Amino acid sequence: MQPNSRHFQVNAESALREPNLQSALKQLESGFVAGRQRCYDALPEFEALRDRAKEVLDHTLDNLDAYLLEYEARVLESGGLVHWASTPEEAREIVVRICRDAEARSVIRGKSMIGEEIGINDALEANGFEVTETDLGEYILQLAKEPPSHIVAPAIHKTKDEISDLFLEHHRGLGFTQRQTERSALVNEARQVLREKFLAADVGMTGANFLIAETGSNVIVTNEGNGDLSSTLPRVQIVTAAVDKVVPTLEDASLLLRLLGRSATGQEITAYTTFTTGPRRERDADGPGEYHVVLIDNHRSEMLGSELRPMLRCIRCGACMNHCPVYGRIGGHAYGWVYPGPMGSVLTPLMVGLDEAGHLPNACTLNGRCETVCPVKIPLPRLLRSLRSRQHLQRQNSSLARIALSLWSWVALRPRLYQLLTRPAMALLARLGSRSGGFRRMPLASGWTRVRDLPAPQGSTFQARWQQQQRDRK
C-alpha cells in the first residue's frame, strides 16, 4: 500500500465531514470501549496480568535472537519450513516463490496486518494468482478496493447500505441477483461465496497473533473461523509473521490471550483460538501438506535497538485507537497507511519514514488514555514525544516551528528571564480576553483559533500562583 500520510491534515479534515464514518466512530464508545471496561471490572487480576505480560515480553525481547532460533528449530522438527525476510520486498518474493513452486492458482487469506504491511495481495495478483480475503471485513474492503481503517474491525467505516451495493455488484455474476439489506442475509451471502473459495484454494495464508518457541506453533485468534479454514483446507499453508511475535511458552501465550480479547473487543476469549504446528502428520485425517513460515523484520530490529523498543511489545489489540480522541474523530484512513491510531503513529514513521509520516506523532493530545488501556503497558505518549524530538533533531519540522521551539527553549532554560517575560504577557492576555473569556483570533495561532477559541489565561502564571499559595500557607 502506498503511504498517504503526508496528507494527514487534508485527510483528517475530509474524514470529519463524512457522516457515515462519524456515526460508525460514535459506536466505538458503546461497543469496544464499554466491552473492555466490563471485562476490566470483572477481572480483579487485570492490572497484575498487564504487569506480568510486560515482564514476559521484555524478557522475550531481551533474548529475541535465542527465542527465534528455538522457534525455528521446533518448526523444522515438525516438518515445516522457516523463511527469513529483512524487507517487505524479500517477504513478497518468498511468498510468490512458494506459491509458484506449489503450482498454485488461488490463494485465500485470513486477516493479517503484516500481510497489509508487506502488500502481499498486490504482489500475488501481479504474479497471476487469484487472491481472496476471507475475513468478512477484509473481504468487503477487497471488493471496495479500500485499505482497512481499524486493525481489529477493518471495515468499521462501511455502512450496511454500501455493503449491500458492493455485494450486489460483485456477486450478481455468481447468481446472487437480489440486493440483500438484512445484516444476517449479507453475512450469509458472503459465507456462501467464500465457502466455494475455501474449497477451491491451493494456498491458505494467515498471520500469527503469537509464535511459540517451545512448540514451533503459530496462534491465530478469530471469531469467524476463517483463519482456521485457511489453515486447514488448502494443500499449502503460509504463515507471515513479524519477528516480534515470538513468545517462549504455551503458558506465556495463555497469559497474553487473557489480555488480548478483553482489550480488543471486550471478549474474555474469542470464538476460536487455534494453535497450528507444522504440516499434517502422516496419519492425520486432514490439513495441508506444506507449512511455511515467513519471519519478517521490516525495521523491528531497528526499534529493538532504540528508545522505541517498548513498541515491540504490541499485541495488536486496537485498544489504543478505540480510546484515542483523535482516532475517534477521524478514523483510520486519515493516517494514510496500514496502522492507524496511537500505535500506528509510532509504527508508520518508522516503517515508511518520518518525512512521509511526520504529521502522525503530532496528531496527538498526549492525554495518555492509550497508555492507560494498553494491555502490555506501552508508553505510547512517551514514544510519540520521542518521535517529535527526532523530527526536531533531523530538522524535519517546519522552520517556523523550529525557530519558535529554539526560542522557547532558550528562554525556558533561563527561569528568571522566563518569568520576567511570561508574567506581564499573561497579565496582558488576561486583560485582553477578560470580556469574552477567550480569543477568536491570535497571531501565530491561527491553526488553533480557526476551529476553536483559545481560552484566556486567568491573569497570573502557574509559578506566580504557586508562590502566592506557598506564601499564604505561611
Partner 1 sequence: MSAAREQVLARIRAALGRGEPDPERTTELRERIAQHPRHIEPAFGETPRQRFRQKLEAAEASFAELETLDAVAAEIERYLEAHGAEKRIATSGDDLLRAIEWPASVDAQPWVAGSDHRVSLTTAYCGIAETGSLLLVSGEQNPTCLNFLPDYHVVVIKAEQLVLRMEDAWDSLRASTRQMPRSVNFISGPSKTADVEQTVEYGAHGPRCLHVILVG
**Contact pattern from residue 255 through residue 294 relative to partner 1, giving x for each residue in contact according to CB under 8 A and a dash for the rest:** x-xx------x--xxxxxxxxxxxxxx-xxxxx-------
Of 12, 57, 143, 153, the one binding partner 1 (CB under 8 A) is: 153
Using CB under 8 A as the binding rule, whether residue 155 contacts partner 1 is answered as yes
In single-letter form, the type of residue at position 82 comes to V
Nearer to partner 1, 214 or 453 (CB): 214
Query: From CA 18, how far away is CA 10, in angstroms rounded?
Result: 13
What does the buried/exposed string (b/e) look like for 431-463 if buried means 16 or more CB atoms within 10 Å of the residue's CB? eebeeeeebeeeeeeeeebeeeeeebbeebbee
Q: Which of positions 227-246 make contact with partner 1 (CB under 8 A)?
A: 228-229, 231-233, 243
Options 26-34, 201-209, 347-355, 382-390: segment touching partner 1 (CB under 8 A): 26-34
How far apart, in Å, do the first and last CA atoms of the chain sit?
Answer: 64
Using CB under 8 A as the binding rule, whether residue 204 contacts partner 1 is answered as no
506465556: which residue's cell?
252
What are the beta bridge partners of residue 212? 217, 247
Query: From CA 64, how far away is CA 243, in angstroms rounded?
Result: 8
What angle separates helix 462-473 from helix 415-432, to the nearest 10 degrees? 100
**Contact pattern from residue 63 through residue 82 relative to partner 1, giving x for each residue in contact according to CB under 8 A and a dash for the rest:** xxxxxxxx------xx----
Using CB under 8 A as the binding rule, whether residue 83 contacts partner 1 is answered as yes
Options 41-49, 371-379, 395-403, 447-455: segment touching partner 1 (CB under 8 A): 41-49
497489509: which residue's cell?
116
Of 100, 172, 195, 414, the one binding partner 1 (CB under 8 A) is: 195
The nearest distance, CB 43 to partner 1, in angstroms, is 6
Using CB under 8 A as the binding rule, whether residue 386 contacts partner 1 is answered as no
**Which cell numbers hold the place of 355?**
518525512
Query: From CA 290, how far away is CA 235, in angstroms rounded?
Result: 7
In single-letter form, the type of residue at position 70 comes to E
Spatial CA neighbour of 136 closest among 156, 118, 115, 117: 156
**Contact pattern from residue 85 through residue 104 relative to partner 1, giving x for each residue in contact according to CB under 8 A and a dash for the rest:** xx---x--------------
In single-letter form, the type of residue at position 267 comes to Q
Using CB under 8 A as the binding rule, whether residue 295 contacts partner 1 is answered as yes
The nearest distance, CB 137 to partner 1, in angstroms, is 4
Using CB under 8 A as the binding rule, whether residue 106 contacts partner 1 is answered as no
Nearer to partner 1, 5 or 209 (CB): 209
The nearest distance, CB 376 to partner 1, in angstroms, is 13
516551528: which residue's cell?
401
The nearest distance, CB 198 to partner 1, in angstroms, is 8
Query: From CA 289, how far away is CA 281, in angstroms rounded?
Result: 8
Using CB under 8 A as the binding rule, whether residue 461 contacts partner 1 is answered as no
